[in-house]
Amino acid sequence: MQKKIIALAVVAAAFSAPAFADVTPYGILDAAVVSVSADGQKSDLLGYSGGLSTSRVGLKISEDLGDGLTAAGVLEYALDTQTSDTVGNARQEYVALAGSFGTVASGYLQTTGYDFAAKYDPVAGSLVSPLQSVAKGGGFLIGTTAGAARAQRALAYISPSMGGLSFALNYSTALAGTDLGAASSATTGLKSTAVLASASYAEGPISAGLVYAGTGNENAGGATTSEYALGGSYDLGVAKILATYQSSKASTATKDNTAMSLSGVIPLGNDALALTYASNTMATANSNGTGYTVGYLRTVSKTVTGYAAYHSVTNGSATNTYSVVGNALSAATLTNGGSSSIVAVGLRKKF
């Protein structure tokens, strides 16, 4: 882990000369105290990293190439503020070229499927997101922690905004495995791929987005999956309303899995009250999940937010797949059809 910190320092030093490139360090430090309870399990009190946002550190690198072109790169890694771990897995690692045509990029990318959820879920990427709980546990592709939230060996194109309308296309050349050594006569292999395409519109108080995600799998008998998601928001001034709907189907399944969310953010001076509900309907009977969150966000300064939130998740009678704490509880002794809940109080510092 120490090697990653050293690598970041070396990169920052190497690109620090203004004549070569601009380098901007950034990050989030988020720490919370959480009280967790669940049917069939003992309650617990934990120090937790990332109650409202995943803790992270990164570098943004850019250089003006002239003629309206800019070369850019991002190196971003997860942090855990509560353990002796230093820098964790990459969240993003890519190089890009931007101009009047838009942006093209290649690397380990945060996909347009991630961006969709982050835009229409007011607690996206947090410990207390019910949409994240039901989407990740349900095997969906689109979301901040879903199957296609991030893509390795990926290519991307993002269009410029055209009257509020923009498009994005992502393609992972090898989402899992590379299969470069397969025989020329082979009809199957280890390689899987993913395609994501989106269109979004934002003008005034209105925002809307549509995303498609699909996976291809060369494994013998391997299932492919196609998923669509629609989201929107409207800012009424006294409150902002957000909603999502997504439908996912595997090639081996006879029915779709669906998920939806409905959220509201109510400004209270410089603070805000966030309310969100999410549920899924799975092809397998009684294997659904639902969840809701009530959170209060206190603006301490431009870069510091205090928060308190209550989050609850309930399972269908035949499953224990969905839970708080990133579905980690389901791997233990959570009761089928049971529920889990969490109270989180914490502080987030951006830099």
Model pLDDT for residues 92-131, shown as the tens digit of each residue = 999 999 999 999 999 999 999 999 999 999 999 899 999 9
Give the closest residue to 61 by CA, choosing from 97, 23, 33, 11: 23
Give the closest residue to 264 by CA, choosing from 279, 297, 244, 242: 242
Give the closest residue to 51 by CA, choosing from 330, 335, 329, 326: 326
Among the residue ranges 24-33, 81-90, 306-315, the one predicted with the least confidence is 81-90
Architecture of domain 2-179+188-350: Beta Barrel (2.40)
pLDDT tens digits along 177-186: 666 666 666 6
Answering whether pTM is above 0.75, one says yes
E strand intervals along 67-205: 69-79, 87-99, 102-110, 150-158, 165-176, 192-203
| Residue 233 parent element (H or E) | strand 225-235
User: SS3 for 4?
Assistant: helix
Give the closest residue to 101 by CA, choosing from 68, 71, 74: 68
Q: How many CA atoms lie within 13 A of 185 on its CB side?
A: 0
Whole-number average pLDDT of the chain: 89
